[in-house]
Amino acid sequence: MTPKKVVTPEPVRPHRAVFEAAIEKLRRSLSEDSYTTFPDVMVSNAIRLVKKLGIEDIEEWIAESIGKGRPQTKIAVSVSALFVAMGLAAIDAREMLIERFTKVLYWQISDEMRSELGLGERVEPGGPGWDAAYQRVRRTFHAVASVMDPSPNPKNRILTKKEFKSQVQSLTPEFEAEAYRRLDLISNRIVHLSFLLLPRYVRRRWKGSGAIDATPVPLFSRGTSKRGKYVSVDPDGGWYVKKEMKIPPSWSMEATLFVCGPDDYRLESSFPRLCLGMALHRPGEAPDKNAMRVLNSMAERGLPVNYLAADRNYFPKCFPENLQIPARALGWKLVFDYNDADLGKPQVDAHGIVVLEGSMYCSAILKAELLCRATIDFRDCLISKDVYTERLRAREAYEVLVHDYQSGRETLRLTCRAAGGIRATVQCENKPNLHARPSLPIINNPPKRLPTICSAETVRVEEAFGLRWIQDLRYGTDEWHAIYSVLRQCIEGYNGIAKDGAWENLRDKSRRRVRGIAAQTLFVAVLIFAANLRKIERFLSAAKPSAADRSLVVVNKQRPARKRATEPKFRTRRAVLAGTGRRALD
């Protein structure tokens, strides 16, 4: 008789129970998504804002595209519901993914709001019906993006260069221009909605000044080289390269943004610095034309215009007929900086007009070498700030006056300061004036050969001479520094805010995975809307009523920066080498 075998039960491993509990907790957190349940008030406000977006135009474009040969697909999710989901996801600092939009619409809002948007029953993420809900949202998004896509390139395909060329669509210039118009119209409407959320008396405090600049928007795809065999799966992008900033190259697009700013830094801040215009394009591609896309969009929306600041990539690098002349025609006053090689180099016109550092003078200033070299000597620490200011003030006697500017003819009508009889402000022997006051300053060493500006009352400059370099503020003055530096700080600061990893995070390409310029433009516009909303909320929370007028809002002044214990080394070293001591740094 064989002995009975005793079977001992397998001991329960404690780590396995812990592992199963962790998996169950993870599934529950993924399905419930309890930390982002949008209240009905928030959803209803989003619906109200989307109605101001002009959704009827997009629906009309989709209907027209179906009639022109586009395959007819049933759009179960409305365009309004799609934009509501995009806005709520951006405000909640979530990624711009179609899966996230599906979760917002079918899981994170109440049944009442879902019925108002025309959606079906609630669907659990990963549960029955989830894939069908995802496809419904996906079809609506691609239908919206396709009617405003100016790109003929195939996307989401690994193609050789030969295969890519055979699959590129042949689009007419009219179709491409219309697609860009639609894209700029919808994207800037989204951005403009945030500006309308400000109280009216706060909006009116902005007088129209701002800065324009471009910032990279990385793409969720790999870039290819010209010598490679294949083309990128997102051919609408390009390589963003900044060698001088030592930034590694990245396959990106570039967003040209306009950020509003104050006219005077000495005034207490009374409105938030918001982005009011945008345009998306390839990196480094036609900065002048893309800047005009933004400025024209702002003109169509009736926004005020005043001072416009930009870096040297726009002014004075671009051709004046592409940027400076059209911008001045819209009413902008240009404020910009120059390269060191362009300072102190006068340019002489055939009429005897000299363009020097953004201002126009008569040819007599050429003999005043100290006045021409004032900026160079100041930057080399050869003269003090007081001497530099005196030399800039001495230039005013040689400056010619702009009588009028005709944008249609691209001309400037100029007049000398010694002309005008009793209205003259200087005395010159080339233009004797019996009515001039004896106390007026005298122009020394006028030109012996009388140019046109000396022999005529006014001179009309028919060509675009000097329009690339001319600006509306005298370069180097305190007023120029006060406006240019503050406006440039506004645009650079906003670029950092939009790329904040805790919120919109424009620098994270994995949060925007749908490829194509149309989809990326919509994503960037919604994220800028969320960034503007965040700045408005922070502004209103830190604001206080004005003592003079209770209806006006004034922001509390920021804490002053901590003073340095010692002088910066590089400044001290430059002053010592120049032999001027510390006085040259005042």
* pLDDT for the residue 23: 65
183 belongs to a structural domain: no
User: Residues 153-181: pLDDT tens digits?
Assistant: 999 999 999 999 999 998 899 999 999 99
What sign does the CA torsion over 65, 70, 72, 78 have? Answer: negative
- Confidence (pLDDT) at 578: 37
Looking at residues 319-328, what average pLDDT do you find? 92
What percentage of residues in the chain have a pLDDT greater than 70?
75
Q: Is the pLDDT of residue 29 over 60?
A: no
pLDDT at 465: 64
- Looking at per-residue pLDDT, the higher value among 63 and 566 belongs to 63
Q: Last residue of a domain, which of 114, 147, 180?
A: 147
**Tokens in use for 371?**
């006045």
Burial class (CB in 10 A: 0-12, 13-18, 19+), 222: exposed
Q: What is the pLDDT of residues 531-564, one digit of tens each?
A: 999 999 998 888 776 655 555 455 445 555 555 5
Q: Residue 125 and residue 130: Cα distance in Å, rounded? A: 6
Task: State the distance between the two ends of the chain, measured CA to CA, in whole angstroms.
Answer: 111
Nearest-angstrom CA–CA distance, 537 and 50: 19
Radius of gyration of the chain (CA): 31
Mean pLDDT (whole number) for 286-296: 96
490 located within any domain = no
Task: Determine the average pLDDT of the residues in 13-21.
Answer: 62
Interatomic CA distance for residues 458 and 473, integer angstroms: 22
Is 235 a member of any domain?
Answer: no
Domain extent, residue 347, equals: 342-468
- Mean pLDDT in residue range 120-125: 90
CA angle 457, 405, 307 (to 5 degrees): 130
- Of 103, 129, 147, the residue at which a domain comes to its end is 147
Answer whether residue 157 is part of any domain: no
* DSSP calls for 492-514: HHHHHHHT-TTTT-TT-GGGB--
pLDDT tens readout for residues 404-423: 555 445 566 777 766 665 55
pLDDT level of residue 284 (50, 70, 90 thresholds): very high
Residues 6 or more apart whose Cβ sits within 8 Å of residue 272:
198, 532, 535, 536, 538, 539
**Which residues are registered as beta bridge partners of 215?**
255
| Coil/strand/helix, residue 248 | strand
Cβ burial, residue 533 (10 Å; 0-12/13-18/19+): middle
What pLDDT band is residue 575 in, cutting at 50, 70 and 90?
very low
From 91-105, 340-354, 424-438, 473-487, the region with the lowest mean pLDDT: 424-438
Report the pLDDT averaged over residues 26-30: 58
Is 49 within the bounds of a domain? yes
Cβ-proximal residues to 407 (8 Å cutoff; 6+ apart), any chain:
325, 328, 329
Beta 359-362 vs 353-356: how paired, if at all? antiparallel
Q: What is the dihedral of CA 516, 520, 523, 527, to 10 degrees?
A: 170
pLDDT at site 255: 97
Q: What is the pLDDT of residue 582?
A: 34
Q: Which residue has the tokens 């995802």?
A: 134
372 occurs within a structural domain:
yes
Query: For residue 272, which of 559, 494, 123 has the smallest C-alpha distance?
Result: 494
What number of other Cβ atoms are within 10 A of residue 163's Cβ? 13
Yes or no: say if 139 and 218 are a contact pair by the CB < 8 Å rule: no
Apex 57 CA angle, 145 and 86, nearest 5: 50
Q: Where are the beta strands (DSSP E) in 150-196?
A: 159-160
Q: What is the pLDDT of residues 207-263, one digit of tens each?
A: 999 999 999 999 999 999 888 899 999 999 999 998 777 788 999 999 999 999 998
Average pLDDT over residues 392-415: 71
Number of domains the chain is built from: 2
Domain end marker among 124, 147, 170: 147
- 531 CB-near residues (< 8 Å, 6+ apart): 275, 494, 497, 498, 503, 504
Residue 45 counted as domain residue: yes
Does any domain span residue 443? yes
The token duo for 151 is: 């790109």
Per-residue pLDDT tens over the stretch 440-464:
666 667 776 666 666 666 676 654 5
Say how far apart CA 586 and CA 376 lie, in whole Å: 16
**Three-state DSSP class for residue 164:** helix
What integer pLDDT is reported at residue 275 of this predicted model?
Answer: 98
Helix (H, G, I), strand (E, B) or coil at 230: strand
Q: What is the pLDDT of residues 331-359, one digit of tens each?
A: 999 999 999 889 988 888 767 778 899 88
What is the average pLDDT value for the chain, to the nearest integer?
83
> What confidence score (pLDDT) does residue 467 get?
79
Q: Name 558's Cβ contacts closer than 8 Å, sequence gap at least 6.
A: none
Q: What is the mean pLDDT of residues 45-62?
A: 94
